Structure 1
Amino acid sequence: MDIRRALTPAELSAAESLFDGPARQEWSERFLTAPGHLMLIAYVDGVPAGMVSGIEMNHPDKGTEMCLYELSVDEGYRRRGIGRALTLALADEAKERGCYGMWVGVDTDNEAALATYDAAGARDEGVFSMRGWPLSQQP
């Protein structure tokens, strides 16, 4: 397995089977050029097998932390440690960027994700409730 940072929209397009939907050119460009955004892709024999995206979050009284925004491993490559490796690679990148911590929101019944994050050293910081504001129609 080889984990590399995605640098081009073509790399995101080639890995779009790992996303919830197709990678749109203009959104890919915006993601890749936005400061503090990154995507790491795990390749197995040259094939995109998993991805993790992270976004740096800054606050005047806290500094910078990394939000693990999304983690995905292709069904055919699951249970091989790819998700854990991607999570640890993102944590390493966060450390290199000077982040004081990293966090992820995860559904409490998502046992596979919870096991992956636990295996990568995450600690349970308690239950929280998430609220959202739909501001426009999803594409």
Structure 2
Amino acid sequence: MEIRRIAQAEAVEAAGNLFDAVPGRRATERFLADERHHLLIAYVDDIPAGMVTGVEMTHPDKGTEMFLYELGVEESFRGRGVGRALVSALEDLSRARGCHGMWTVTEGDNVAALATYRRAGGVPEADQVVCAWTCEQP
């Protein structure tokens, strides 16, 4: 398995099946253009097997943290350590970029994600609640 940091929209398009929805070209280019946005793709025999995205966030009293935005592993590659390797690679990148921590959010019943995050060293925070807003475009 080889994990590559992606900088070209074409590589994202070639691995589009790893995302929840088909990546949009403009959104992909905007994401990749920001040095604080990171996209890693794991390849097995040059086939995109999984991806993880991370976004650096800086706050005045907390410093910079990496938010693990999304993790996706192609079904035929699940159970082979691809997800764990991607999370660990993002953690290594976070450390290299000077982040003091990394965090993510997932559904409480997402057994696969929780197992992957725990195997990669993640520790669930107790009593956390996620609030979400939908910002509709006029």
Identify the TM-score tier after normalising by the shorter chain.
Answer: over 0.9
Q: Is 1:86 paired with 2:101?
A: no
Q: Write the letter of the residue equivalent to 2:20.
A: D
State the 4+ residue runs in structure 1 displaced beyond 3 angstroms.
Answer: none
What's the counterpart of residue 135 of structure 1? 135
Q: Is 1:123 paired with 2:117?
A: no
What's the counterpart of residue 43 of structure 1? 43
Identity of aligned residues (%): 52
Shift of 1:26: 0.7
What's the counterpart of residue 7 of structure 2? 7
Q: Is 1:22 paired with 2:29?
A: no
How big is the alpha-carbon RMSD for the aligned residues of Structure 1 and Structure 2?
0.9
Taking the aligned partners of 2:127 and 2:81, their CA distance within structure 1 comes to: 26
Taking the aligned partners of 2:20 and 2:109, their CA distance within structure 1 comes to: 19
Shift of 1:35: 3.0
TM-score by length of 2: 0.96
Q: Write the letter of the residue equivalent to 1:9.
A: A
What's the counterpart of residue 114 of structure 2? 114
2:130 partner SS: coil
Taking the aligned partners of 1:127 and 1:50, their CA distance within structure 2 comes to: 30
Shift of 1:131: 1.6
Unaligned runs of 5+ in 1: none
Q: Write the letter of the residue equivalent to 1:104.
A: T
What's the counterpart of residue 69 of structure 1? 69
Shift of 1:85: 0.2
